[in-house]
Structure 1
């Protein structure tokens, strides 16, 4: 689950040019070392689908986003069966690796916390 600290920390790093210059090369190195881009995945393709919040977020994707996600998963599965990554020209480029699912997951989490607040609200007669 994504907490408010991780979001505010990312915004803080992005707002500081000096900090961004230090963190960005490390973040790019880590993403490349993780290896998911070699199989054509975006970072959000790796979120655990069995979580209820991710399930609800997946339902909110557009038809095109759902199709693209399924295509990336099938293509990566085929590459995994062949025991080798995709050709270099098919790797996910860092500028294409946008967070398409995270905003929906965050919205679902906000809705859940709001629902929880309203479900436990006590009404008292004055």
Structure 2
């Protein structure tokens, strides 16, 4: 999500035309090499669900988003059983691969940080 320290270089890279020109082809190659789109996944479908932040974010999806996610997971599971990716016309395109879960994950992370700041009351007996 944001690296080990909670920092992201993405805004800096996007603001620099030269860096963006060099990194964009490498990033596109990496996404294609990862192969998750060949099985019908969007990037947010492959996030680690065991993470409590991601679990809470998943509960905030709309019913349509939940249905679409479950359908993509089942379709990819079937393709995995068959040991073959989906037909090329069913692959997720770059335009379809939108981050539908990231806003929810960021919102949950912000709420957890705020909760840590406010939940530090220590009760002492007199």
Question: How big is the shift at 1:122?
Answer: 6.5
2:19 matched residue in structure 1: 19
Q: Which residue pairs with 1:33 in the alignment?
A: 33
Paired with 2:68 and 2:29, the residues of 1 have a C-alpha distance of 25
Q: Which residue of 2 aligns with 1:111?
A: 111
**1:23-65 per-position Cα deviation (integer Å, ceiling 9, x unaligned):** 1110010000011010010111001111111011001111111
| TM-score, normalised via structure 1 length | 0.89
The match for 2:102 is: 102
CA distance in 2, matches of 1:5, 1:11: 10
Identify the residue that residue 47 of structure 1 maps to in structure 2: 47
Higher helix share: 1
Q: Deviations over 1:45-97 (max 9, x none)?
A: 00111111101100111111111111110000000010000000111111211
**How far 1:121 sits from its partner (Å)?**
4.9
Q: What is residue 66 of structure 1 aligned with on the other side?
A: 66
Secondary structure of 1:95's aligned partner: coil
Task: Provide the aligned length of Structure 1 versus Structure 2.
Answer: 121
Any gaps of 5 or more consecutive residues in structure 1?
Answer: none
TM-score by length of 2: 0.89
> Alignment partner of 1:113: what SS?
helix
